[in-house]
Structure 1
Amino acid sequence: MKADIHLMVTADGSHTAVNEAFDKPYHSIHGAYQESQRVYIELGLLPAFEKFPDSQLHIFEMGFGTGLNALLTAREAQANQRPVVYTAIDAYPMSIEQARQLNYDEFFGTAYLPVLHESPWHEPTALNPYFTFIKTEGKLQDLQTTDRFHVIYFDAFAPSTQPELWEPEIFSQLAQFLLPGGMLTTYCSKSYVQRNMRAAGLTVEKHNGPLHKRDILRAVKPGEKVF
């Protein structure tokens, strides 16, 4: 099912999309770029480059949406010359026509968005020599995979909109997806979300958030890191 959306420019000049059915933006209206950069790149990807220095990184994104998180990751993989395999799932993807209106390639000086949104589902696609992308259309609850990941970007809509994606069972599922030492990052820091993460066996860290967001979370799977 394609999402019914409209686009808006956020405070930092980058686009977000607003889902008409949920009446919620995909990214912060205070700055889509600055939010994604802080939550997923600074707290997830860059620490993983340091924590797993000899590994090809495997990243899983819950909520592909506009493709902004994937684009930023591809850009960092290229800049750091670190191979990344990126798997994303989305139950309500944007249409290609809507995606073509996003301003991210213009904003960052890249040429990634057409490939991200127009590549075939369930097939690996290379954006650059260091970034391979695989997208899956469907619900997280229905996903079965033997793949394991160094980092999970958890970018579901807020608990008030999609409460089913913030339940203990979901974090238990995601904890199984993580390699030992792997990390899950998300913008939501609600107390019951922290409890649900801990119930799944994850160690929860609270960090300073992006503009107009006091706290965000990083959850780490205990155990010796896997290379």
Structure 2
Amino acid sequence: MKRTLFKTGDGSYTLHIPEWDEQYHSKHGAIAEALHVFIKEGLYHWLSRNSEKAVSILEIGFGTGLNAFLTYLETEKNSFTVHYTAIEAFPLEVTEVQKLNYTSLLNASEELFLQMHRVPWEEIHGISEKFHLKKQQQFFSEISSGNCFNLIYFDAFGIRVQPELWTEEIFGKMYMALKPNGVLVTYAANGNARRAMQAVGFKVERLAGPPGKKEMLRATKK
């Protein structure tokens, strides 16, 4: 599938899929969206309500690696540790990732960012003392983890192009994967997705969205 470089509203790049007319991140700002949805309303929301300093995160859609990299950067500034599992059915090539400008905008290590993409799949890697990464190449429908994660970054492609990823079946798997009081966050605010989350048992909140988007969703396992 063809992917082209796309400059978003905050100056950071994402990848565009012409066949779907879809981007990997918000056209209003790739970094801004990730920081708001996954770091602020996901990671720090969970940390503010739990005394544990070790967070187990599942990312649905590793994609460009931006969410994982931003999470790693937060561990470098704070005292918590992260065990990060990323699911991706169609990994990007390193040559594609090298075109992205995240590290220059974040004043961070390009070598470490690329390392996250180069490390082998299906193995746990110590990216740092406080950040461990495991990438798994599989379809979301194949996830069978139970009671394993504190937090899910649900960053699948949008419901317009992949409605099968926003169903009760998929969110049922997310619910089972979370530990009690675990949290799922997503950039989406679609009513069908919200109702699917509620149907499998989640308590769902509408929150203010990232730049260019009115709302997002956060779901908590009861």
TM-score, normalising length: structure 1: 0.93
Q: Distance in 1 between matches of 2:108 and 2:178?
A: 30
**Alignment correspondent of 1:188:** 188
Whether 2:118 is the aligned partner of 1:118: answer yes
What are the within-5 Å matches in structure 2 for residues 8-157 of structure 1? 8-111=6-109, 112-146=112-146, 148-157=148-157
Q: Distance in 1 between matches of 2:149 and 2:44?
A: 15
**Alignment correspondent of 1:4:** 2
Cα displacement string for residues 108-155 of structure 1 (whole angstroms, at most 9, x for unaligned residues): 122231111111001111222211111111101012334611100000
Moved more, 72-81 or 144-153: 144-153
Q: Distance in 1 between matches of 2:211 and 2:178?
A: 29
Q: Distance in 2 between matches of 1:18 and 1:65?
A: 12
Q: Distance in 1 between matches of 2:50 and 2:2?
A: 39
SS in 1 for 2:132: strand
Code of the residue aligned with 2:76 in structure 1: it is Q
Q: How far 1:7 sits from its partner (Å)?
A: 1.4
Q: How far 1:60 sits from its partner (Å)?
A: 0.3
Code of the residue aligned with 2:162 in structure 1: it is Q
Code of the residue aligned with 2:7 in structure 1: it is V
Code of the residue aligned with 1:70 in structure 2: it is A
CA RMSD of aligned residues (A): 1.3
- Answer yes or no: is the 8 Å Cα contact 2:145–2:176 preserved in 1: no
Structure 1's 92 and 23: CA in aligned 2 closer, same or farther, altered over 3 A? farther
Q: How far 1:166 sits from its partner (Å)?
A: 0.4
Q: How far 1:190 sits from its partner (Å)?
A: 1.2
Q: Distance in 2 between matches of 1:99 and 1:7?
A: 10
Is there any run of 5+ residues in structure 2 with no aligned partner, and where?
A: none
Q: Distance in 2 between matches of 1:194 and 1:76?
A: 29
Structure 1's 178 and 14: CA in aligned 2 closer, same or farther, altered over 3 A? same
Code of the residue aligned with 1:106 in structure 2: it is S
Residue identity (%): 37
Cα displacement string for residues 37-68 of structure 1 (whole angstroms, at most 9, x for unaligned residues): 11111110011222222241000000111111
Cα displacement string for residues 40-97 of structure 1 (whole angstroms, at most 9, x for unaligned residues): 1111001122222224100000011111100110011111121100000111111111
Code of the residue aligned with 1:144 in structure 2: it is S
TM-score, normalising length: structure 2: 0.95
- Answer yes or no: is the 8 Å Cα contact 2:154–2:185 preserved in 1: yes
Code of the residue aligned with 1:199 in structure 2: it is A
Q: Distance in 1 between matches of 2:88 and 2:31?
A: 20
Size of the aligned set, in residue pairs, is: 220
Cα displacement string for residues 135-179 of structure 1 (whole angstroms, at most 9, x for unaligned residues): 111101012334611100000111110110001111111000011
Whether 2:215 is the aligned partner of 1:221: answer no
